């Protein structure tokens, strides 16, 4: 395929080192007081790394081009070595609209693609987008208003997960449920305010000028790590629930399992690197896996008669290991049964998807905690 290359970008972005100690807390360069004023309608650069996204890419680009925003816009897409029609679709759209630019990302790594795209941009505001996402028409204007009003270095909005099939709708329901992913406001919703991280992100260019790019050694969770560096530099991360982004999750059970396995591994890697800077909520899924494993082992010991020779008090004590697991199963069944605003098939898949997310994530976390992430990639892509 042929596409337009961007060479010799005016603002090259150094690679992110990912070392929080390398950021000067003293300078507070990204604090609300340290950031220079932002123009009323600054130009915006949308960046998007892609790989095998033929099903979603056209719609994602269309929602960007349809933004109701009066400032200048450009889209820079980092092309991975897709094996489907992704790159052809992008080339056709780029031929029709000069605002669509592309750069090559032969390693197909998300943080590398993001850095390559940033290096090719020209505007003072950089908006990360995803091929699985669709921006609301007012997203950009709301983001610029948020940056003006809060003097944030980065802001983000609400991920509105949606689905087309019963399975995908169940996954979307799990994404949005406090029982599913929970935690961050951008999943389950919350009032506007300062946040730990942001979904996708709308960045002031000064973030990359001062901190470098995304850490290319972090294949998943690189946005959280960059937001940690922003906060360490005095910058403000802001959540605005009015900034809505439609997200289309993976559409099959194996892909969900692979995605959450890789995500768990990389979260453990971030725990290994940054320890207490991570929230305690990340330990819930691995504790669940350990509890259910202990319950399974105790059951096998009972079935084989091994526990018959144990003292009575010990048998009673070990039987308590089943309580958390049974409580979890009961909670999943109750949560799925309570979903009355959907059909039976979606409720059934919802009851399957929730433990799939939790157990895949938790098992991946335990592996990553022991071995590190290494070169783990998201196989669902």
Output the average pLDDT for the chain. 89
Quick one: 210 and 291 in the same domain? no
Q: What is the pTM of this model?
A: 0.85
Quick one: 283 and 243 in the same domain? no
Is residue 168 within 8 A of residue 251, CB to CB? The reply is yes
In a domain, residue 261? The reply is: no
pLDDT digits 0-9 by tens, 147-197: 999 999 999 999 999 999 999 999 999 998 888 876 555 555 578 899 999
Average pLDDT over residues 288-308: 92
Quick one: 196 and 80 in the same domain? yes
The whole-number pLDDT of residue 13 equals: 44
pLDDT digits 0-9 by tens, 95-143: 999 999 999 999 999 999 999 999 999 999 999 999 989 999 999 999 9
CATH number at residue 133: 3.90.550.10
The whole-number pLDDT of residue 309 equals: 86
The whole-number pLDDT of residue 278 equals: 87
In a domain, residue 15? The reply is: no
Quick one: 52 and 159 in the same domain? yes
Dump the DSSP string for 139-189. HHHHHHHHHHHH--SEEEEEEEE--SSHHHHHHHHHHHSTTTT-SSHHHH-
Closest CA to 236 of 156, 158, 150: 150
**For residues 310 and 22, what is the distance between their CA atoms, to the nearest angstrom?**
56
Quick one: 72 and 176 in the same domain? yes
Quick one: 226 and 298 in the same domain? no
**Which range (50-59, 188-197, 297-306, 335-344) has the least confidence?**
188-197
Average pLDDT over residues 347-373: 96
Say which residue, 236 or 10, is predicted with more confidence: 236
**For residues 63 and 84, what is the distance between their CA atoms, to the nearest angstrom?**
22
**For residues 381 and 376, what is the distance between their CA atoms, to the nearest angstrom?**
12
Report whether pLDDT(381) > 80: no
Three-class SS state of 339: coil
Quick one: 217 and 334 in the same domain? no
Give the chain's domain count. 2
- Indicate the pLDDT class of residue 364, thresholds 50, 70 and 90: very high
3-state helix, strand, coil in the chain (%, to 5): 50, 15, 40
Report whether pLDDT(44) > 90: yes
pLDDT digits 0-9 by tens, 244-262: 999 999 999 999 999 999 9
Strand pairing class (237-247; 193-194): antiparallel
Query: Which residue segment(s) compose the domain that 50 sits in?
Result: 20-249
Q: Residue 137 — φ and ψ, nearest 5°?
A: -60, -25
- Indicate the pLDDT class of residue 307, thresholds 50, 70 and 90: confident
In a domain, residue 210? The reply is: yes
Report whether pLDDT(5) > 70: no
Quick one: 47 and 183 in the same domain? yes
Average pLDDT over residues 317-335: 92
Question: Which structure tokens are listed for 321?
Answer: 């290991």
Quick one: 44 and 176 in the same domain? yes
The whole-number pLDDT of residue 20 equals: 52
Quick one: 236 and 311 in the same domain? no
Quick one: 32 and 163 in the same domain? yes
The whole-number pLDDT of residue 188 equals: 55
Quick one: 293 and 237 in the same domain? no
Is residue 278 within 8 A of residue 184, CB to CB? The reply is no
**Which range (141-145, 174-178, 322-326, 361-365) has the least confidence?**
174-178
Three-class SS state of 232: helix
């Amino acid at each position: 395929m042929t596409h337009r290359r961007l060479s010799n970008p005016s603002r090259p972005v150094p690679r992110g080192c990912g070392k929080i100690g390398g950021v000067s807390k003293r300078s507070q360069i990204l604090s609300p007081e340290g950031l220079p004023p932002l123009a009323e309608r600054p130009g915006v650069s949308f960046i998007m790394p892609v790989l095998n996204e033929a099903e979603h890419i056209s719609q994602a680009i269309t929602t960007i081009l349809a933004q109701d925003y009066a400032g200048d816009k450009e889209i820079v897409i980092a092309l991975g070595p897709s094996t489907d029609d992704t790159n052809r679709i992008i080339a056709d759209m780029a031929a029709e609209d000069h605002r669509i630019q592309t750069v090559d990302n032969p390693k197909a790594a998300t943080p590398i693609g993001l850095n390559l795209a940033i290096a090719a941009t020209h505007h003072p505001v950089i908006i990360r987008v995803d091929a699985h996402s669709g921006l609301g028409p007012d997203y950009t204007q709301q983001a610029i208003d948020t940056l003006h009003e809060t003097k944030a270095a980065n802001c983000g909005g609400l991920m509105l997960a949606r689905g087309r099939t019963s399975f995908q709708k169940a996954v979307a329901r799990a994404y949005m449920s406090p029982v599913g992913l929970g935690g961050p406001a951008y999943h389950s919703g919350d009032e506007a305010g300062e946040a730990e991280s942001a979904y996708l992100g709308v960045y002031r260019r000064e973030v990359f000028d001062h901190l470098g790019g995304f850490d290319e050694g972090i294949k998943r969770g690189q946005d959280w790590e960059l937001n940690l560096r922003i906060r360490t530099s005095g910058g403000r991360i802001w959540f605005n629930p009015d900034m809505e982004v439609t997200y289309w999750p993976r559409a099959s059970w194996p892909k969900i399992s692979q995605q959450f396995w890789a995500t768990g591994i990389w979260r453990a890697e971030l725990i290994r690197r940054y320890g207490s800077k991570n929230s305690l909520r990340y330990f819930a899924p691995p504790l669940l896996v350990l509890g259910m494993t202990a319950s399974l082992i105790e059951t096998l010991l009972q079935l084989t008669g091994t526990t018959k020779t144990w003292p009575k008090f010990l048998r009673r004590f070990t039987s308590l290991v089943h309580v958390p697991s049974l409580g979890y199963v009961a909670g999943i069944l109750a949560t799925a049964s309570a979903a009355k605003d959907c059909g039976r098939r979606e409720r059934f898949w919802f009851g399957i998807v929730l433990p799939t997310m939790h157990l895949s994530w938790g098992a991946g976390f335990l592996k990553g905690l022991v071995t590190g992430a290494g070169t783990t990639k998201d196989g669902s892509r």
